[in-house]
Amino acid sequence: MKPLNHLEVKMICEQLNSCCGIPLQKVTSTLDTIEFGFWTGDKNIIWQLSLKANLPLFLPASQFKIKKNVKKPWIHFLTNHFLNSVLQRAEVKHEGERILILHFSHFDYGEQEIEMNLFPKGVNLILRSNQKQVSYKKVKEFTASSQTKQEFKVRSLEKLQDEFQASHKKTVKKQVDYKALYLQEIKKVKKIKSKLSMDLLNKKEKVLIYRKLTEEINLHQNLDFETSFASYLDTSLTPYQNLNLLYERLKKEKEKIEGGQNRLAEIEQKLQQLEDFDDPKKWYAGYNKVQQRNIKPSKNKKGTKFKTYPLNGDYQLLCGYSAKNNDELIKMAKPWHVWMHLRDYPSTHGIIPLNKGESLSHSVLTEAGRYLVEHNFKGKKDKFLGLKFNLIHCQVRFLKKVKGSPGKVTYINDKNVLIQMPK
């Protein structure tokens, strides 16, 4: 969708002037979208402001889609100062520009303004009330627009709404070139195999050198012999000390060779498995599933990093042991994994790894919620039997850690599931 041009901003301004004399009764918001509800006495007239840097818009909407407000200074100022304010008029700041100003009046704060910068990379929301000013971004001065020198087509409000909704629909994924990815993976594994083979050869050469030097020292009982490997000897040490040093190096190199051979065997096995695939698409399906659901294992004093509970449908619930462990769990999870927590209880955090685009059934969430209750109360089983708990859950992408408070997060777009524990 193309951004608004100055003629369309002027059209929106004229439409807004039909709402003059109507009070602003409701405001809902996310980090980059605000919904304004003007109450006529029998219905809400809803306008939606998009503050996205590449596509700022201010358009009518059919209904409220956001349930609650985010905790940000500009939203706090907007709800405290502008609710119950009456829209007096709307105007474009300067002819040819895409800056829209809404003038309000409030019985306590007097004259007020909401200024909207509706052009890409300059998007901003500036609120002025009671001799105070709060903005979405730092206020900058912009030069006059040159849009008046160009010709633009004016899209109707309905057309703009249709284009805006279409831009938010789930786009069709590009066709994956399975064969190219498959060949790329084979090339990558072969490169690793080649590097491991070269490293092993170098280590074996060093072993031969160390053995040759130990034989020479034992034969001559001194360091006064001709050798092309003198750089491996330390003339400041005695022949006996050099022998001990060479034996230590031999031992380490042999250990490295053994480890390298094991790793090389694993890589050769992986390469053979790759070459055995007759359909690259089947390889990609298995590889992609492993990559998306994977949370790298790590160890602590208890053996495993997180407590793991198996769930129906081959899912698993991961729970932390402490506030710090909860932070590590969230950090290691992927944005599309599902996070959960018990409402009104200082409970542990839970993560369910799943594939991108995959959703969880109510039964899996309920099962995970019961495990979370049991994990939270540990041995005090009698205290939660038959009780009901609210389980909060959302994608990890909607979490934000609270600085200086391990294990604490804020979240948006969360949902609730009522968990009934069996008696």
pTM for this model (two decimals): 0.43
Average pLDDT estimate for 394-422 = 88
In degrees, rounded to 5, the angle at the alpha carbon of residue 21 between the alpha carbons of residues 19 and 23 is 85
Residue 276 has a pLDDT of 84
Where is average pLDDT lowest: 45-59, 100-114, 155-169, 329-343? Answer: 155-169
> Residue holding tokens 């060093």?
206
Average pLDDT estimate for 318-332 = 87
Average pLDDT estimate for 117-137 = 91
Residue 262 has a pLDDT of 87
Of the spans 112-116, 374-378, 400-404, 409-413, which averages the highest pLDDT?
Answer: 112-116
| Half-sphere exposure for 244 (CA within 13 Å, toward CB) | 4
Could you report the per-residue pLDDT of 348-376, keeping only the tens digit for each?
Answer: 899 999 988 888 889 899 999 988 888 88
Residue 173 has a pLDDT of 52
Rounded CA gap, 112 and 389, in Å?
45
Could you report the per-residue pLDDT of 135-190, keeping only the tens digit for each?
Answer: 999 888 766 554 545 567 889 888 888 888 887 664 445 577 888 888 888 898 89
Could you report the per-residue pLDDT of 228-240, keeping only the tens digit for each?
Answer: 888 889 889 999 9
Report the SS3 class of residue 121.
coil
Q: How far apart are the first and last CA of the chain?
A: 55
Q: Does the pLDDT at position 285 exceed 80?
A: no
Q: Does the pLDDT at position 88 exceed 90?
A: yes
CATH fold label, 6-168: ibrinogen binding protein from staphylococcus aureus fold (2.30.310)
What are the φ/ψ torsions at residue 233 (nearest 5 degrees)? -105, 155
Residue 23 has a pLDDT of 93
Q: Where are the alpha helices (DSSP H) in 113-177?
A: 157-168
Residue 141 has a pLDDT of 77
Identify whether the C-beta of residue 58 lies closer than 8 Å to the C-beta of residue 101.
no
Average pLDDT, the chain: 85
Could you report the per-residue pLDDT of 9-46, keeping only the tens digit for each?
Answer: 999 999 999 889 999 999 999 988 999 999 988 888 99
Where is average pLDDT lowest: 105-109, 186-190, 306-310, 332-336? Answer: 306-310
